[in-house]
Amino acid sequence: MMGPSHALSGAAVWLAGSWAADHFWGFHQRPAALAVGAAVCAGAALLPDLDMSGKVTANRGGATVARAFGIFTLFLAEVVEKLCLFMYHATKMKKDPHRRNGHRTFTHTLPFVALVGWGTTWLCVRYGKPAVIAILFVMMGLALRGLFDRWAERSGWLAVTAASAVAAYAAYLTLPGERSYPELGFAVAVGCLTHLLGDLITSAGIPILWPLPLGRRTWRMIGLPKAVAVRAGGPVEVVVLRGAMLIVTGLAALALLAPAAAQRWLPNL
Ligand SMILES: [Zn+2]
């Protein structure tokens, strides 16, 4: 799937999950917390593609996430891609093919999801406010890039950076009190996991179960058969899937923020 679809899927999953938590378990969140959670999850849903590098010197190419903060993230993507390729060759088994590019390797596995989620939680608990603001800044930048793709492309990465700084600080101010927000780690992990699910329905697949050896391969690619797989950027992704995600996002937001109105429109909820 492409960046904007990944970001939208992150927001949809977070809001639908928040609605379910509220509806079935009485776990209520304030509107500011909901908005921040959805934005962090949407931003994190782009993170695994940080293994897709572009042209650093020309400030071009790479995945949506690699272009989020201009040459800085493009450079980071270059490093991540090389590290992933190194990890691939260091842990591959006999039947795993030779690769020249690290895309869709380590950052597309369950251990990566756990690592990023745990790392974010650890940073929040260990360093408190400065870490929370920094994480929000990065995630807001990614969310803006993913959700408002055309605007971001037109305005350039400096505008995206400035907007994410404002959004991150505003988010921090609207969240209550002196807290470290370890739950940010959960939102980041859910976002990354949503990305992996989005890539699972493509035919190329991802090695989600690494390092489990399956048929003498540690990097077994798991995806859908070509006949039913979703083609990246094709009409099924852009029209059907994105349409469905928009509806889920809208309905969940309505049910969470204006339950009385939602009751009138959807009496069965
Ligand atoms: Zn991906």
CA distance 93 to 96: 6
Q: CB atoms < 10 A from the CB of 187, how many?
A: 26
CA distance 99 to 42: 30
pLDDT score for 108: 96
- Asked whether residue 267 carries a pLDDT value surpassing 70, the answer given is no
**pLDDT band of 141, cuts 50, 70, 90:** very high
Q: Which of 72-81, 176-185, 205-214 has the lowest mean pLDDT?
A: 176-185
What percentage of the chain has pLDDT greater than the value 90? 60
**pLDDT band of 2, cuts 50, 70, 90:** confident
pLDDT score for 219: 94
**pLDDT band of 189, cuts 50, 70, 90:** very high
Q: What mean pLDDT is predicted for residues 231-258?
A: 88
CB 256 within 8 A of CB 35: no
pLDDT score for 146: 93
- Asked whether residue 10 carries a pLDDT value surpassing 80, the answer given is yes
233 Cα–ligand 1 center, Å: 13
**pLDDT band of 93, cuts 50, 70, 90:** very high
CA distance 190 to 108: 13
10 Cα–ligand 1 center, Å: 13
Q: What mean pLDDT is predicted for residues 68-92?
A: 92
Most confident range, picked from 23-27, 28-32, 189-193, 244-248: 189-193
CB 106 within 8 A of CB 84: yes
Q: CB atoms < 10 A from the CB of 195, how many?
A: 28
219 Cα–ligand 1 center, Å: 15
CB 71 within 8 A of CB 53: no
196 Cα–ligand 1 center, Å: 7
- Asked whether residue 238 carries a pLDDT value surpassing 70, the answer given is yes
100 Cα–ligand 1 center, Å: 17
pLDDT score for 122: 96
Give me the residues near ligand 1 (ion), CB cutoff below 5 Å.
Answer: 48-49, 199
Does the pTM surpass 0.85? The reply is yes
- Asked whether residue 4 carries a pLDDT value surpassing 60, the answer given is yes
What percentage of the chain has pLDDT greater than the value 70? 98
pLDDT score for 257: 86
Buried residues in 64-103 as b, exposed as e (16+ CB within 10 A): bbbbbbbbebbebbbebbeebbebbeeebeeebeeeeebb
Radius of gyration of the chain (CA): 19
- Asked whether residue 269 carries a pLDDT value surpassing 70, the answer given is no
96 Cα–ligand 1 center, Å: 19
The two three-digit tokens of residue 242, written as one number: 């994105």
